[in-house]
């Protein structure tokens, strides 16, 4: 049986590939569970310094596997609760893990597939990619963090239009509105992804993890609370090996080597 999610780890980079191309990489129960398990591994494995998420074939992901919804019949409510439970745990891990996430959107993304696509710290989109919320077309509401991520990236008004009108957003428009980081020609996407992942893996990943935590917390309370979180975070980072290496490299006018510090070090 073909694995719904391919996992390859090389030189500190974990590449996760949605692997249901004949079904548009739609998210079945098996794929949702595999994403959860992979997210936990990526979060807890200190040898992994960067995570790349992409899709096999023509689409990034068409969203939920509608055929599974139909097969669930009268159990659809329980089925969706389980499916989204796996997805939500995967999303929480991907968003909170102390290392960068690069999403490489190789083609169209819809529904929960769109949630996965825009979860990256860096989102590279192929020129042929387009984005649709899709939920309204099948009488459903957003899931997998869509209603949390989308307004933060593009603003409430644009999020309302995308979710209520269910309109398709092309790659260039997605970049202009802040939905993706940048658009890359289809034939150059693999090279751009490889170079970006290598750059991220060579970076101060512990510092990136701290930055990710601060950004997630930035909407939670008042300015003073965020200032305190920043003060505690930068003080902790300054006492870590990454900062010591970065400062030493700066003063010696050389490039810092963060990968030589060993796994699990501050």
Exposure of 14 in the CB half-sphere (CA atoms within 13 A)? 23
Give the pLDDT of residue 266. Answer: 43
Check: CB of residue 203 under 8 Å from CB of residue 131: no
Is the pTM higher than 0.85? yes
pLDDT in tens, the chain (266 residues): 789 999 999 999 999 999 999 999 999 999 999 999 999 999 999 999 999 999 999 999 998 888 888 888 888 889 888 998 999 999 999 999 999 999 999 999 999 999 999 999 999 999 999 999 988 777 888 888 889 999 999 999 999 999 999 999 999 999 999 999 999 999 999 999 999 999 999 998 888 988 898 888 888 777 667 777 767 776 777 777 776 777 677 678 888 878 876 654 44
pLDDT at 45: 95
Could you write out the DSSP letters of every residue in the chain? ---SEEEEEETTEEEEEE--GGGTT-B-HHHHHHHHHHHHHHHH-TT--EEEEEESSS-SB--B-HHHHHHHGGGHHHHHHHHHHHHHHHHHHHHHSSS-EEEEE-S-EETHHHHHHTTSSEEEEETT-EEE--GGGGT----TTHHHHHHHHH-HHHHHHHHHH---EEHHHHHHTTSSSEEE-GGGHHHHHHHHHHHHHTS-HHHHHHHHHHHHHTTSS-HHHHHHHHHHHHHHHHTSHHHHHHHHHHHHTS---GGGG-TT--
pLDDT at 188: 96
Identify the CA nearest to 118 among candidates 162, 56, 165.
Answer: 162
């Amino acid at each position: 049986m073909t694995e719904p999610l391919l996992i390859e780890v090389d030189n500190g980079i974990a590449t996760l590939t949605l692997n249901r191309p004949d079904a548009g990489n739609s998210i079945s129960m098996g794929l949702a569970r595999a994403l959860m398990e992979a997210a936990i591994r990526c979060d807890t494995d200190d040898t992994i310094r960067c995570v790349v998420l992409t899709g096999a074939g023509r689409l990034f992901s068409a969203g939920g596997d509608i055929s599974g919804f139909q097969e669930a019949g009268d159990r659809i409510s329980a089925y969706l609760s389980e499916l989204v439970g796996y997805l939500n745990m995967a999303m929480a891990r991907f968003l909170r893990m102390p290392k960068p996430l690069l999403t490489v959107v190789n083609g169209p993304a819809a529904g929960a597939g769109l949630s996965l696509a825009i979860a990256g710290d860096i989102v590279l989109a192929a020129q042929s990619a387009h984005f649709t919320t899709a939920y309204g077309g099948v009488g459903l509401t957003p899931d997998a963090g869509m209603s949390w991520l989308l307004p933060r990236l593009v603003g409430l008004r644009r999020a309302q239009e995308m979710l209520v009108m269910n309109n398709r957003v092309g790659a260039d428009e997605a970049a202009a509105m802040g939905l993706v980081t940048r658009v890359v020609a289809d034939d150059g996407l693999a090279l751009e992804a490889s170079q970006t992942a290598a750059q991220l893996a060579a970076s101060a990943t512990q510092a990136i993890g701290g930055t990710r935590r601060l950004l997630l917390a930035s909407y939670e309370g008042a300015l003073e609370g965020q200032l305190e979180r920043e003060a505690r975070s930068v003080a902790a980072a300054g006492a870590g090996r990454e900062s010591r290496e970065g400062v030493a490299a700066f003063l010696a006018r050389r490039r810092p080597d963060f990968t030589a510090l060993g796994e699990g070090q501050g």
